[in-house]
Structure 1
């Protein structure tokens, strides 16, 4: 037989207090004298009692749980961002329930599972949902904030870096560096980050009258990106510069070019990524990249979510945070940047 469940009634009897007193002691924000709290907690420890947070949330309607849906952890930007999000939400008094998803998964089903947990808010990290589910979340009063993604739906707030401008900065840098055969390796084409970064990149290229030399798709996957690199370089004439949509893929490109094609970076080909993950600054990569300001993005996400939960600001916000170009050694530096 399993161990018999200890209830709040048992704790009340052991402590010599009412059951409602036990409830107050274990309810955040409820009033209970220090003497009573000490007595109740001592009895709870002796009996091995643990309050049922989920059951209490069904009664109070306040679960103090935030649902966090993450698409993938291969890109080092996300483990760092999720850790920061979790800590920031804990400071606000919330627990974080993490669900994993991937491109092509049934996100709507997963989101319905989250709603069944009575979450008070949802953060979607690089995940998009259908308009039907948006309407459901809106109807039940659960605010949703998109992190590092945007969606053409006025019911959702979103927090991103300035992806379009970031793409323009990269094109400007490569063109000023006198590169003649500029290529692009794209991520998953269904992602708003991919579309916005490439759109900004191409707008600057077109303004300057520069034609894209080659384009392949790496789908944000290491192996697929290396295969895309092989497709680009198994030719008589190859790129002398590549903008890769994120650092995870940029590192895959660098490894492939060095190990398989014996090319030197940046002497033979310049590489620029996007995100500025921790290993981008390592001497073995020294990757020139656009920095996504994770701390500021997390602060904006948590602040927006808390305001919507408290009803202080019910208007969805579309927040973009400026992203600087981090100049390192993986790309040829234009003379005007050196002079500055």
Structure 2
């Protein structure tokens, strides 16, 4: 074994073939006979050879790498999103670069840094919050697919559910179960605002008092704080829709542990995301499933198409309302 990195020339000498044959054996789709391919791979395995992808990246201008951007690890939905993205990217024959960011501004900076790696594109579970940030990201001319951001440019594509209809579905369900004092706990995102709009419209259409809208922080603490605020209110809501499941679980804990209330006897609660904890017997949370697996597949498919059609698109995926014990005893 030479005291240096093994090269394709070493493999060629051991296999008794040309260096170009070794190159073809490690190039997907290249013309090479099955017997010659097997001979080269056997020699490479004996030597422990792995091809250097950098020269091919320089020639083709593409690395086969997709950057996956996710938010904070505190939210199990981000873990589910990462798993779905990873599966879809690997199925497409590409490689993954994992990046963590907290907001649209961090995403802007990261896209600029990732250009040096010649990535094929970016898929992000984070929303882009502003047109200004979208324009800054687009200036890098790298295809980006986001989930539920709502902002589209020539280089930014969106895979989303109909968040307005999801909000309406949550309100309609609780109203049909007898709720008359509705509330929404949201967050600072385009998707959350759309859910709020649908929710409030359904409440208005039902002829009920306007829904109470409270800010949240997408985590358990935000739900706990909102729950305490509702417990202290003169008129306590009896139907609560939350921007995500962690928020809903925080509300449930506040109502049960600090308010001595029962769910759904004293208040119905609907979450969003269908994280594993939503199915735990202690919560059994009614929630809206975004079908993140299908969203990830569409995101990767959109990245491949983006390199040829040069225009941003929005793809809508169906959601599912899963009724459990927080709305139906």
Q: Could you state the TM-score of these two structures normalised by the residue count of structure 1? A: 0.86
Aligned residue pairs total: 323
The whole-number CA distance in structure 2 between the counterparts of 1:40 and 1:113 is 37
* 1:62 corresponds to: 62
The whole-number CA distance in structure 1 between the counterparts of 2:5 and 2:46 is 14
Alignment of 1:107-146 (within 5 A): 107-128=107-128, 129-137=133-141, 142-146=142-146
> Deviations for 1:153-177, whole angstroms, at most 9, x for unmatched residues?
3542211111001111112222333
* 1:200 corresponds to: 198
* 1:239 corresponds to: 237
* 2:185 corresponds to: 185
Query: Alignment partner of 1:136: what SS?
Result: coil
Q: Larger deviation: 199-208 or 71-80? A: 71-80
Alignment of 1:1-340 (within 5 A): 4-103=4-103, 106-128=106-128, 129-137=133-141, 142-153=142-153, 155-187=155-187, 189=188, 191-212=189-210, 214-309=212-307, 311=308, 313-331=309-327
| Structure 1 spans left out of the alignment, 5+ residues | 334-340
Query: Alignment partner of 2:146: what SS?
Result: strand
> Deviations for 1:167-196, whole angstroms, at most 9, x for unmatched residues?
111122223333232222112x1x111111
Query: Alignment partner of 1:305: what SS?
Result: helix
Q: CA deviation at 1:318?
A: 1.3
Q: Larger deviation: 24-33 or 3-12? A: 3-12
Q: Could you state the TM-score of these two structures normalised by the residue count of structure 2? A: 0.88
Whether the 8 Å contact between 1:244 and 1:250 is mirrored in structure 2 is: yes
Note the aligned Cα RMSD (angstroms): 2.3
> Deviations for 1:35-71, whole angstroms, at most 9, x for unmatched residues?
3223322332233222122342122223112121112
Whether the 8 Å contact between 2:134 and 2:151 is mirrored in structure 1 is: no
Q: CA deviation at 1:332?
A: 5.1
The whole-number CA distance in structure 1 between the counterparts of 2:208 and 2:155 is 39
The whole-number CA distance in structure 2 between the counterparts of 1:36 and 1:324 is 51
- Indicate how the Cα distance of structure 1 residues 55 and 226 shifts in structure 2: closer, same or farther if over 3 A, else same: farther
Query: Alignment partner of 2:69: what SS?
Result: strand
| Structure 2 spans left out of the alignment, 5+ residues | none
Whether the 8 Å contact between 2:152 and 2:314 is mirrored in structure 1 is: no
The whole-number CA distance in structure 1 between the counterparts of 2:229 and 2:4 is 63
